Structure 1
Amino acid sequence: MFYFSLSGILSANPVNDSTAVALEEVTIMENRIGIPFNKVSRNISVVSRKEIETTPARSIQEVLSFTPGLDVRQRGVSGVQANIGIRGGGFEQTLMLINGIKLTDPQTGNHMMNIPVPLQSIQRIEVLKGPGSRIFGQNAFAGAINLITTLPETKSLQIQGFGGDFGMRGGHIITSMPVGKYRQTLSVSHDASEGHQYNSDFKVTNVFYESGIELNEKNELNAMFGFSDRNFGANGFYTDLFPDQWESLQTYLSSVSHTYDHNNLYFQTRAYWRRNIDEFRLRRNEPEFFTNNHVSDVLALEFNASYTSDLGITGFGVEGRQESIDSNNLGQRSREFLGLFAEHRIEIGQKTDIRAGVYSNYFNEYGWKHFPGAEIGFQASPSNRFYGNFGISYRIPSYTELFYQDASNTSNPNLLPEEASNYEFGWKLNRSRLRAEVVYFYRYTQNLIDYTRLPSNQTPNPNQWTPGNVSEVTFNGVETAIQYKVNWGLTNARLTEVSASYNYIRADLVQPEEIESRFALNSLRNQIIAGIQAELFGKAELTVKSRYLERIALDPYFLLDARIDFNRLKTFGLFVEVSNITNTQYIEAGFVQMPGRWAKAGFNLNLF
């Protein structure tokens, strides 16, 4: 990614934003070895708390749609359902995490974004582009997205409410209630709408609780619980044959962990459980016609550690995970995983650092697989850094790919796991006024899993989608972006930031020409994202974002969104958002026609 971040040239009358944190102060959280952002030898984007608050978005998915290099395909709005691809990868190849906890779903990657955390509870988002198997395990095929929350040490209460077009309404309440050394936060959010078209109404509720206590200077205990309930009309979500599709999802997530941190030794032990309950109907008011009921469970234990010595930092870990599903369509099934991590980072002199490691995974159906990887960085000067890395990716098929069947789809129980070799080369520039990065990436995949079908002159196409292993596919491209923090203008109207990005992906797929591809030939080809931020009268912040997206075999489209915040950091604030200002007609996923121009307005209360 070519990334400019030009710090403000002038500093008169700066916005006093307590949510802004310099990237140099951020440590990228990778479970074992934490590395300062400016010393990372990979392409990683960090979405800050301020960006989350000021972006014209109502969900995590919508915020991520403005991140360069991510292909966010929404079915509806406000986090109802979305798929996220990285560097041409499909949604099954992207791993979502909360504080390092994997949100894997054995049923389907469509549920990866069923995140039981309100957007307002997220402190920052770390986006790792490229292979993450060595760091996070086999699911991080094309990349990983880690949502980071924090436990404040002071009391606080935040309330937000909003309303808008299409009968949209909702809000959230977040409170921090520390008692001595025991810190805790509770957040609740609710979003609902009557829908922008027939059978597109939705209700989404999230509840999230997190707590932690320092037992002493070395030991800390943490616990987390989340619940998400979403019900929505699914017109066009999976097929255009049945406009009355409907789905109801309940997701539970809980974890407990112990952390020891003293001198040169750090280790963390944790256990977590995730359950997803999915009811899907082809006809909303006729469950007897066709209904799928799935209950999937993931239970995992992890141990991660690092040790710092004169020879560098050594990271090691072990994880065990059981995935199971009880489904009237997929059957009753379970599978077990065992993973072993080992890596080491060393600095050679004052300019060069090398990090290498391997993840070894045992899966009860495929045996042992090993995923090595290495990174090298060269600090040519205090502001210039060159780097390169290599990694092996691996992903096993989901239960849906293996066994799911309905009127539009059939299954393939003989699917093989996907494997890929990945290379990345980049340059970073980091000065007080300028931050830049340019990256070239290459990924060669064997046994890529894709859904295909024969074309038809009939509309809609009556042929079924069938998953299969494509013999080989190569993705390569360049990722670029620019962010320029300025202080131009008058006292009552100042431009504070200008940003832009361009990303290009080329996909070479070996596949017969007479068949249609659902995913592999629909990846991003060209993506342009641009935006500005301005301060008005010392109290209002204006954010304008635009996107141009061109996908392979799909029509390109342009979107323009804007948001204005008034007194965002004060006790009482107001905001107004307008999405799709140009009233563009477009489809991101499935057969869902996305909304035209729509507006929202709301208030914020920061009581203490």
Structure 2
Amino acid sequence: MRPSSTFSITTRPAPVLVGFGWLALATCLLADAPDRSLPLLTVYSQRVANQAPVATFAMPVSALRFEPRVDVQARNFAEGQADIAIRGGIFENTGFTLGAVTLFDPQTGHYFAEIPVAPAMLGAPQIVTGADLGLSATNATVGSVLHGWRPIRTAGAVAVGAGQDGLTQGEFYQGYVSDVKLGGRQLAADVAWAHSDSDGSVPYGDHVLNRVNARLQLAGAGAQTDLFAGYQAKFFGWPNLYTPFNSNETDDLETILIALNHRRDFGGGDFFEAGAAYRRNKDEYVYNRLIGPVQPYFRHTTWVQSAALSGRQSLDAFALNYRAEAWHDELKSTSLIFGRFNTRQLYKLALVPEWSRALGGGAKLVARAGASYDDTNRGSGELSPILELARESSGPWQKLYLSYAKTSQVPTYTALNSSAAAGLFRGNPDLGRETSHNLEAGAQLAAAGWRGQAAVFYRRDDDLVDWTFRRGVTARTASAVDIATTGFEVVAQRSWQRFDVVLGYTWLTKDADYGGALVDASFYALNYARQRLTAAVTARLTREIELRLDNEVRVQAANLLRTRGGDHPLISSLGVTYRPAALRRLSLSVQVDNLWDSTFQEVPAVPAARRQTSFSAGYTW
């Protein structure tokens, strides 16, 4: 293992302020420049500038890292292992929906984002909260990330790259639309492959990642059916990967996903979607890779079979929104053996009638009032109301709304089945259903070339399962907490001929009650940014050169587990792409992640990845 290389750029914010000044000047100069923009790239997210990561190949989580409404808390790089939090929630509050089906790992929320699908096969991520969450996902209480299946085109792409710390990476994608028609719909297929390996930006931070995908699709006449199979293998190491005890840990994952999805759009917002999925995740976690085979190993395998349907059907001024989903999960583990069960069924049914009434000036009043019901064969069910009143318009104020929604979920097996008295992770078999109440008011606006949305919200989480730390105890403990979160978030974006900008700001405050539990610090529930500002900039400097810059500034809540990086980090990612005028299908790129070499620990006690640079070449056809 060779030591990582570093640069001498200062971590102080002055260079960034200068950089923002130059970008502001460039905005003025480029906004009225003649349109010589580059051809559109494959866009995985409309609100993040750098679509591809530096340290590995692109994954669905790559499009979330600088997303204004999502906080990605990475261990090493986000694609290795990352916790996805929305509105100050924790990683296990967040759902991931692929087509009709909610993807889930019953062992731990750390693996919720293990989705072995090439982003080229997916639509841009959509973030839902509040009333929309109850109709969009199962077993998620704060927010969910929604992905649809992208229509296949006859097109292909290949990319290779190399960088610091022995990094090598490669990706391949090929889509093909045939002349064969079945039932009036076109038969198509696509495949994808990706690989990366590196020694890591710190000692014992190495990785080897691989992914292969194949998909068949029937599309046409407003309908699309997809059959997908994917496999992903990930080995990665990192100091203090999951524990704060100065150990060089590793995780070795193998994820299989098979999914079938059908969607039919009827126009006017009406649709029907149904899907089924099989997911298997194998995990081997090693606490100290330097000890060798004499140490205890933690091996887990989970299986989830799920089926879901959802839709909206309207008749004049009335519409019915609905969702139904069922899961069966199973766990096999060498260490998670202290709970009361290792198989479980989960069920959800949501029915939300909707009424609309025309107002003056082309506006309309829309009211939704219904409920969802969540149940399991391992505990009690929960009835949750979903209410929203909105004014919708084609004018600048596109939507004004007030909503209340209750959601609920059950804990994962790591919390339920870990030993309560010994080991690195202390669980509690008596943990019950978690519930969340969300009240919010918000607006969507489009004016003067800008598009934006804003919301103010109050959320109360009851019996939330958090992982906590106590001085003198070599373990992290699953503790139930009642916590109130008050917040405000706003996102604004605008595009000029040669320049795009997306700005986001979130303000949060929390009040937590752990009851009689002895807690000195929280790894997750109290690991949040009191204020977070994001700025994504895309500048088409010439016909051949494009610059992309993502930035995040945080005012982090204090946490005694955080040992480096302070509470006011500035994190940036920079990419520059050159496309020769004579060969527009070729792209040559240089990217720098963690531009200012920040040492901020996104997860307390977990060392930050250092600045990394990579070079890549891509070709499309």
The Cα shift of 1:303 comes to 3.0
Q: Give me the whole-angstrom Cα distance separating, in 1, the residues matched to 2:127 and 2:81.
A: 19
Q: Give me the whole-angstrom Cα distance separating, in 1, the residues matched to 2:161 and 2:78.
A: 12
Partner of 2:487: 477
The Cα shift of 1:419 comes to 0.8
The Cα shift of 1:551 comes to 2.3
Partner of 2:304: 298
Is 1:562 the counterpart of 2:562 in the alignment? no
Give yes or no for contact 2:128–2:143 (8 Å, CA) kept in 1: yes
Deviations 1:536-574 (A, max 9, x none): 221111112221123222422111221111129931111
- What is the identity, as a one-letter code, of the residue corresponding to 1:386? L
Structure 1 gap segments, 5+ residues each:
1-5, 22-45, 457-461, 488-493
Pairwise CA RMSD? 2.8
The Cα shift of 1:317 comes to 3.5
Partner of 1:35: none
Partner of 2:251: 247
Partner of 1:33: none
Q: Give me the whole-angstrom Cα distance separating, in 1, the residues matched to 2:52 and 2:146.
A: 20
Q: Give me the whole-angstrom Cα distance separating, in 1, the residues matched to 2:215 and 2:604.
A: 35
The Cα shift of 1:514 comes to 6.0
Of the candidates 229, 232, 247, which is equivalent to residue 228 of structure 1?
A: 232
Q: Give me the whole-angstrom Cα distance separating, in 2, the residues matched to 1:340 and 1:407.
A: 38
Deviations 1:95-114 (A, max 9, x none): 11223422211000011111
Give yes or no for contact 1:242–1:283 (8 Å, CA) kept in 2: no
Give yes or no for contact 1:504–1:526 (8 Å, CA) kept in 2: yes
Is 1:342 the counterpart of 2:340 in the alignment? no
Partner of 1:508, secondary structure, is strand
Q: Give me the whole-angstrom Cα distance separating, in 2, the residues matched to 1:311 and 1:63.
A: 37
Q: Give me the whole-angstrom Cα distance separating, in 2, the residues matched to 1:528 and 1:416.
A: 35
Partner of 1:165: 164
- What is the identity, as a one-letter code, of the residue corresponding to 1:391? A
The Cα shift of 1:78 comes to 5.5
The Cα shift of 1:468 comes to 2.1
Q: Give me the whole-angstrom Cα distance separating, in 1, the residues matched to 2:300 and 2:326.
A: 23
The Cα shift of 1:389 comes to 1.4
The answer to which of 189-198 and 312-321 deviates more is: 312-321
Partner of 1:498, secondary structure, is strand
Partner of 2:22: none
Cα 1:262–1:149 shift into 2, 3 Å: closer
Partner of 2:134, secondary structure, is helix
The Cα shift of 1:453 comes to 3.4
Of the candidates 172, 177, 196, which is equivalent to residue 191 of structure 1?
A: 196
- What is the identity, as a one-letter code, of the residue corresponding to 1:226? G
Partner of 1:351: 364
- What is the identity, as a one-letter code, of the residue corresponding to 1:338? Y
Give yes or no for contact 2:278–2:305 (8 Å, CA) kept in 1: yes
- Please show how residues 405-424 of structure 1 align to structure 2 within 5 Å: 405=419, 407-424=423-440
Is 1:318 the counterpart of 2:318 in the alignment? no
- What is the identity, as a one-letter code, of the residue corresponding to 1:469? A
Partner of 2:190, secondary structure, is strand
Cα 1:167–1:263 shift into 2, 3 Å: closer
- Please show how residues 501-520 of structure 1 align to structure 2 within 5 Å: 501-511=504-514, 515-520=520-525
Cα 1:314–1:592 shift into 2, 3 Å: same
Partner of 1:497: 500
Give yes or no for contact 2:101–2:307 (8 Å, CA) kept in 1: no
Is 1:580 the counterpart of 2:594 in the alignment? yes
Give yes or no for contact 1:436–1:482 (8 Å, CA) kept in 2: yes
The Cα shift of 1:506 comes to 0.4
Cα 1:402–1:72 shift into 2, 3 Å: same
- TM-score, normalising length: structure 2: 0.84
Give yes or no for contact 1:158–1:173 (8 Å, CA) kept in 2: yes
Q: Percent identity?
A: 22
Aligned residues, how many?
Answer: 563
Partner of 2:239, secondary structure, is coil
Partner of 1:110: 110
Of the candidates 278, 282, 294, which is equivalent to residue 283 of structure 2?
A: 278
- What is the identity, as a one-letter code, of the residue corresponding to 2:491? A
Deviations 1:72-93 (A, max 9, x none): 1101115010001111100010
Structure 2 gap segments, 5+ residues each:
1-26, 180-185, 560-566
Higher relative contact order (CA 8 A, sep 6+): 1
Q: Give me the whole-angstrom Cα distance separating, in 2, the residues matched to 1:485 and 1:346.
A: 35
Partner of 1:113, secondary structure, is coil
Of the candidates 538, 543, 546, which is equivalent to residue 551 of structure 2?
A: 546
Of the candidates 384, 396, 408, which is equivalent to residue 394 of structure 1?
A: 408
- What is the identity, as a one-letter code, of the residue corresponding to 2:243? T
Partner of 2:459: 443
Give yes or no for contact 2:162–2:616 (8 Å, CA) kept in 1: yes
Of the candidates 395, 413, 423, which is equivalent to residue 382 of structure 1?
A: 395
Cα 1:101–1:415 shift into 2, 3 Å: same
